[in-house]
């Protein structure tokens, strides 16, 4: 069966990418954006001038690999990224993308992530869209955990069950009629089936899923895969736990927080009694649209909090956007319209939000921002309003923190 999976990605590397596009844009995403890694795995305190070693396990055509390699090259510190995938065709695409960009910080390997530890301990491991294709995903989680350096962490994406409603119905139908012949014939059958789906069909009714309307590699990956499974939050948490890993954040955090939707005080009070993971599981059931889970996790035995938290010295950083532009997008009513993965809503921001956002430049710390705001707010008012702004924008994965390294021991 592993061969069927490998054969698929030899024939149809996914996602399909043209290396020439690297001259025009950098694809950014989660997990493994460097600001997220710093925030969620290294408490915002990683010293990037020290050697950093990452593994991109099941790197495919290279999206996370190229993003991370480029971001590390831009920072200029000593970094080595190891790419690992079963598919040589995918590797060739990733290599060509790296070449177009002139990236020299990548080492390419062909093989299985079950052997990840053979490639040495990594400070960070990316594994996006891969573990749900393994015959034994639990063994995959364990293999990655065993390849982590002490103090490291991992960013994983696996499919979410609820948001993929309809996908497995279509897969089941195609197992009945698509046959076992060459991929081109099976793809033709799948396209005909997609066209024939009645309005009541769950795939047709699912707005979050679009790959069946895309290129052949995307359609095959969605509907004709020889092996894929999807997770709910408790199953993913259990998978991490059995591998000795502890989840520390789901992306986007707001999608895993029932308070994003529930305002009613009595319900909120009951929800407050749940553990963080139970709340995430509740939010998944409530929202109903999560088609993937992106989770950062660290070894369960790791000491301390790996997640950056707001404090006077912490430096807020807007991820891939500008504070000025975001400030101008806030309506007169204090509402910022946002749309993203399954979330389209108006975020009510506090009155100081526009002024604060204009001061967020990735250099000023929270204390400096507070000082610049001056007499417009009392300390308590600023603290309250900053916490509300941070909660809202971190919740949609736009605002992260960089914290200064701890003072050297006297
Ligand atoms: C859906 S693609 C995702 C690629 C990439 N991570 C991304 O997000 O764009 C899955 C990739 O996992 C690779 N893969 C599947 N099983 C693997 C295994 N056991 N070890 C290494 N790679 C594997 C496939 O060859 C394929 O390139």
What DSSP letter does each residue of 108-152 carry, written as one string? EEES-GGGGGGG--EEEEEEES-GGGSSSHHHHHHHHHHTEEEEE
Q: What is the pTM of this model?
A: 0.96
Question: Residue 368: how many CA atoms within 13 Å on its side-chain side?
Answer: 13
pLDDT at 410: 63
Please state, in angstroms and rounded to a whole number, the distance separating the CA atoms of residues 189 and 186: 5
Give the span between the Cα atoms of 348 and 380, in whole angstroms: 20
Predicted pLDDT at 1: 47
In the chain, the domains with their CATH numbers are 2-159+231-298 (3.40.50.150), 163-224 (no CATH), 315-402 (no CATH)
Q: Which 3 state secondary structure label does DSSP give 160?
A: strand
List 297's β-bridge partners, or say none: 154, 247
User: Best of 3, 65, 86, 291 to mutate for ligand 1, by most ligand atoms within 8 A of CB?
Assistant: 86
**27 CA to middle of ligand 1, Å?**
18
Q: How far is the CA of 130 from the centre of ligand 1 (A)?
A: 5
Tell which atom from ligand 1 comes closest to the C-alpha of 15: 9
Residues in contact with ligand 1 by the CB-under-6-Å rule are 5, 9, 14-15, 58-60, 63-64, 84-87, 90, 112-114, 128-130, 133-134, 221
Q: How far is the CA of 74 from the centre of ligand 1 (A)?
A: 26
Contacts of 296 (CB under 8 A, 6+ apart): 31, 36, 40, 41, 153, 154, 155, 156, 247, 248, 249, 251, 306
Give the integer Cα–Cα distance in Å for 220 and 183: 8
Question: In tens digits, what is the pLDDT along the chain, a chain of 410 residues?
Answer: 458 999 999 999 999 999 999 999 999 999 999 999 999 999 999 999 999 999 999 999 999 999 999 999 999 999 999 999 999 999 999 999 999 999 999 999 999 999 999 998 999 999 999 999 999 999 999 999 999 999 999 999 999 999 999 999 999 999 999 999 999 999 999 999 999 999 999 999 999 999 999 999 999 999 999 999 999 999 999 999 999 999 999 999 999 999 999 999 999 999 999 999 999 999 999 999 999 999 999 999 999 999 999 999 999 999 988 899 999 999 999 999 988 766 688 899 999 999 999 999 999 999 999 999 988 889 999 999 999 999 999 999 999 999 987 666 66
């Amino acid at each position: 069966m592993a061969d069927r999976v490998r054969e698929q990605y030899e024939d149809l590397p996914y996602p399909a990418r043209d290396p020439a596009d690297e001259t025009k844009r950098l694809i950014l995403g989660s997990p493994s954006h460097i600001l997220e890694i710093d925030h969620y795995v290294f408490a915002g305190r990683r010293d990037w001038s020290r050697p950093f070693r990452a593994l991109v396990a099941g790197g495919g055509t290279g999206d996370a690999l190229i993003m991370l390699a480029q971001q590390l090259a831009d920072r200029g510190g000593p970094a080595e990224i190891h790419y690992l995938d079963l598919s040589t065709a995918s590797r060739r695409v990733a290599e060509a993308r790296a070449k177009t960009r002139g990236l020299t910080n990548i080492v390419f390997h062909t093989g299985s992530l079950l052997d990840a530890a053979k490639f040495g301990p990594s400070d960070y491991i990316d594994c996006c869209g891969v573990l749900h294709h393994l015959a034994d995903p639990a063994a995959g989680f364990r293999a990655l955990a065993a390849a982590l350096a002490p103090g490291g962490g991992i960013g994983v994406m696996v499919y979410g069950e609820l948001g993929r409603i309809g996908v497995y119905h279509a897969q089941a139908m195609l197992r009945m009629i698509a046959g076992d012949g060459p991929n081109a014939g099976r793809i033709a059958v799948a396209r005909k089936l997609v066209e024939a789906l009645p309005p009541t069909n769950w795939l047709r009714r699912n707005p979050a899923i679009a790959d069946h309307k895309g290129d052949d590699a995307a359609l095959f990956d969605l509907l004709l895969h020889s092996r894929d499974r999807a997770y709910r939050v408790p199953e993913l948490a259990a998978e991490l736990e059995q591998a000795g890993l502890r989840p520390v954040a789901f992306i986007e955090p707001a999608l895993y927080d029932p308070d994003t939707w529930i305002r009613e005080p009595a319900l909120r009070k009951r929800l407050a009694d749940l553990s963080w993971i139970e709340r995430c599981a509740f939010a998944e059931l409530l929202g109903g649209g999560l088609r993937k889970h992106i989770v950062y996790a660290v070894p369960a035995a790791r000491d301390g909090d790996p997640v950056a938290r707001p404090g006077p010295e912490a430096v807020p950083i807007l991820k891939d956007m500008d504070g000025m532009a975001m400030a101008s997008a806030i309506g007169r009513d204090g509402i910022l319209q946002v749309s993203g993965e399954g979330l389209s809503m108006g975020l009510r921001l506090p009155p100081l939000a526009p002024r604060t956002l204009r001061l967020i430049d990735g250099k000023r710390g929270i204390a400096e921002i507070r000082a610049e705001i001056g007499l417009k707010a009392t300390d308590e008012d600023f603290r309250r309003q900053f916490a509300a702004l941070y909660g809202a924008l971190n919740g949609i994965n736009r605002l992260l923190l960089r914290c200064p390294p701890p003072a050297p021991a006297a």
